[in-house]
Chains A and B, each alone.
Chain A
Amino acid sequence: MDKILRVNMTDLTTSVETAPIEWAGLGGRALTSTIVAKEVEPTCHPLGPYNKLVFAPGLLSGTAASNSGRLSAGAKSPLTGGIKESNVGGTAAQMFARLGIQALIIEGMPTTDNWYSLVLDKNGVTLQEERGLLGLGNFAVVEAIQSLLGKKTGVICIGPAGEKLLTAANMSVKDPSGKLRSHGRGGLGAVMGSKRIKFIAIDDEGAPGITIADPEKFKAASRIFTKAMMDHPVSGQGLPTYGTNILVNILNEAGGLPTRNFTDGQFEGHDLISGETMHDTIVARGGKPRHGCHAGCVIQCSQVYNDKDGNYLTSGFEYETIWGFGANCCIKDLDDIAMADSIMDDIGIDSIETAVAFGVAMEAGILPFGDGKEVVRILRDEIGKGTPLGRIIGSGAGSVGRTYSMTKVPVVKNQGIPAYDPRSVKGIGITYCTSPMGADHTAGYTIATNILNVGGQVDPLKKDGQVELSRNLQIATAAIDSTGMCIFIAFPALDIPECLPALIDMLNARYGAELTGDDVVSLGKNILKTERNFNLAAGLTSAHDRLPEFFKTNPVAPHQAVWDFTDEEIDAFWNF
């Protein structure tokens, strides 16, 4: 797996390169961040010709390792102005790997108004002008490509939000059921739109496939790894049964469920939108409580959620989306939220950023809190069509806040703060502040240890130990994001001693390498430093590693907690 495909959209040329030696042993986030840091001028306009969009499968993608099918995408983010890596399930990562593609780099920008598509196959990459699918939603795009090029074709595409360069736009990736998964957060869909690429189709017919250096060792390590995943109560039982939405009631109980645009920590309608209620609703309507986002996933935290009549409504219906439109926007009808989720998949917009933007819009008086029907209308008729209001909301929470002169705008580095209140779950506040990605819970998921008692217990309401917890998790996560593994492998990895060594054994068996645990930690540290240095050069300094000031001044019920870290305490994060 050492082919680098390069597409230049300015002169409309493509090439296949051999990866330079310093990229050997890099995959996923390690590789996308290394390439962006090396090849993208940090001060460039993220939607201009000097930004580059990079895709890389994880180091273990395409192998039989459980949960290894994540694809990383990287660029300078038009939302944060800093570096971005976003990873996703679906079928694309494994196809990239089987085709021997270590990375796809898209650079430049067309000099005309024409749109294009790319086809990746065993011969490399082909660039074609695209007309027919412009303006269409993601579901129609996937359907059209499947009927044109075959059911098995992999797809990465943008919907209307990406075409209109909205800074909350996603890139969407086809999953094994022909539905969609999202490269969320940070507006990479707008970067793809700026390159004027509507879709990338992937055909892995006749692909060389994966070579494992030591198949026996790989098989043995893979067995141990999969057993750890199945044995841990979170990955083996909790997530498969209830999905991620089990968190609604937990965070509500802990007073960390941001409610009414981060005004309260508990939502009176929590039970109506909870994972328990959702599970029972899915079962009663003949949906599927379990569903994997990629082949080889043993956790299956996704689901198929049907409407009242038993027809498919949405899948990949996550806690963060349900929190965002539920507690944060005070919508109590799960069907309204599911409809919003489906529309966001179709127009290709980030469900966290959009939900946080709606919370600010509601506080600004654009629409009432709790009005799910109006949310659905705005998504479809304003954001989906790119009206002025749609562009304001579809460009994220910061955009709404600036336009309406709001002071209560929950963002860090202009990226919307997700589903855990940093005043009452303090570790995650450190992650929001310091992650080079902007406010991103997945970058160092302290909820595991602050709330869920995984990997020990650090009191969420006290400052003690939070910086160290966030640092250790962010280092580990940067490394895991490079393997193609789903971040949920961290639950067993934090608690079951055999899990992480088995992961390292798989890497060594795959590549004939001799990595140790220390090497993996060094990899994680190097990735974070590389990303941080890019941000510093782009103008994002320690002054941007801060929460908005209302978290310091407005206590959140029921614990009356405030954000009370000093700047020095936050900056100590980078002492490694």
Chain B
Amino acid sequence: MRKSTPSGISSVDSITITIKLFAHFRNGRFKEEKYELPPSTDCRTVILSLGFRLGEMGIVMVNGEHASLDQLLQEGNTLALFPLVGGG
């Protein structure tokens, strides 16, 4: 998994996704970045690659829908990661 460069052209054996981080997940990381991944990468792999523990994951969404850690990411997906937070 590597950051996608603006001029970079995805090779046939990689997909590009957008990763968005929220709340304290942004601390020391980023708010929104594009990443290149091998095809058939699941959410779990991306989360671990970013240095998170699975236990600190509150909400995982792919394209605005709740996703399981096993869900495979597709070209152009947006993966959003939130810690357990709430309001009301």
Query: In the assembled complex, which residues on chain A have CB atoms less than 8 Å from the CB atom of B23?
Result: 238, 241-242, 246, 275-276
Q: Tell me if A520 is interfacial: C-beta within 8 Å of chain B.
A: no
Q: B66 touching A319 by the CB < 8 A rule?
A: no
User: Is A488 a contact of B84 with CB atoms below 8 Å?
Assistant: no
A-B Cβ contacts below 8 A, count: 92
Distance of A276 Cα from B86 Cα, bound (Å): 13
A29 interfacial contact with B, CB 8 Å: no
**A491 interfacial by beta-carbon distance below 8 Å:** yes
Which of A255, A452, A457, A558 lies in contact with B85, CB distance below 8 A? A452
Is B44 an interface residue when CB atoms closer than 8 A count as contact? no
A239: Cβ under 8 A from any B Cβ: yes
Mostly, the A contact residues are helix
Check B64–A254 contact: CB distance below 8 A: yes
The reply to whether B66 and A459 form a contact with Cβ atoms under 8 Å apart is yes
- Classify chain A: how many residues form its interface, as a range: 35 or more
Write out the residue numbers on chain A whose beta carbons fall within 8 Å of the beta carbon of B26: 276
Query: C-beta contact mask, A243-256 vs B, less than 8 Å → 1, else 0?
Result: 11111011001110
Count residues of B near A (Cβ-Cβ below 8 Å): 20
Q: Is A301 an interface residue (CB 8 A)?
A: yes
- Cβ B61 vs Cβ A242 within 8 A: no
Within 8 A of B (CB), among A432-452: 441-442, 445, 447-448, 451-452
* B35 interface hit (Cβ, 8 Å): no
A243→B88 CA distance, assembly (Å): 9
Whether A457 pairs with B66 at a CB distance below 8 angstroms is yes
Residue picked from B20, B83, B84, B85, most chain A C-beta under 10 Å: B85
The yes or no answer to A233 lying at the interface (CB within 8 A) is yes
- B65 at interface by CB-CB < 8 Å: yes
A238's nearest neighbour on chain B, judged by CB, is B85
CB nearest to B58 among chain A residues: A453
Contact of A487 among B63, B80, B88 (CB under 8 A): B88
Whether B86 contacts A491 by the Cβ 8 Å rule is yes
| Bitwise interface map of B from 62 to 88 toward A, beta carbon under 8 Å scored 1, else 0 | 011110000000000000101111111
Most B CB contacts (10 A, CB to CB) among A445, A453, A454, A488 go to A453
Q: Indicate if the CB atoms of A245 and B87 lie closer than 8 Å.
A: yes
- Whether B64 pairs with A558 at a CB distance below 8 angstroms is yes
A-side residues, CB < 8 A to B, are 233-235, 237-239, 241-247, 249-250, 253-255, 275-276, 301, 318-319, 441-442, 445, 447-448, 451-454, 457, 459-461, 487-488, 491, 558-559
Question: Can you list 22 A-B contacts with CB-CB less than 8 angstroms, sorted by A residue number?
Answer: A234-B86, A242-B23, A243-B87, A244-B87, A249-B22, A250-B22, A250-B85, A253-B20, A253-B61, A253-B64, A253-B80, A253-B82, A275-B87, A276-B22, A447-B88, A451-B59, A452-B59, A452-B86, A454-B84, A457-B66, A459-B66, A488-B88
Contacts A253-B64, A488-B86 aside, 9 further interface pairs with beta carbons under 8 A come to A233-B83, A233-B84, A235-B86, A238-B83, A242-B85, A253-B22, A442-B88, A448-B88, A460-B66
Smallest CB-CB A-B distances: 6 pairs = A244-B87, A238-B85, A233-B84, A234-B86, A247-B87, A246-B85
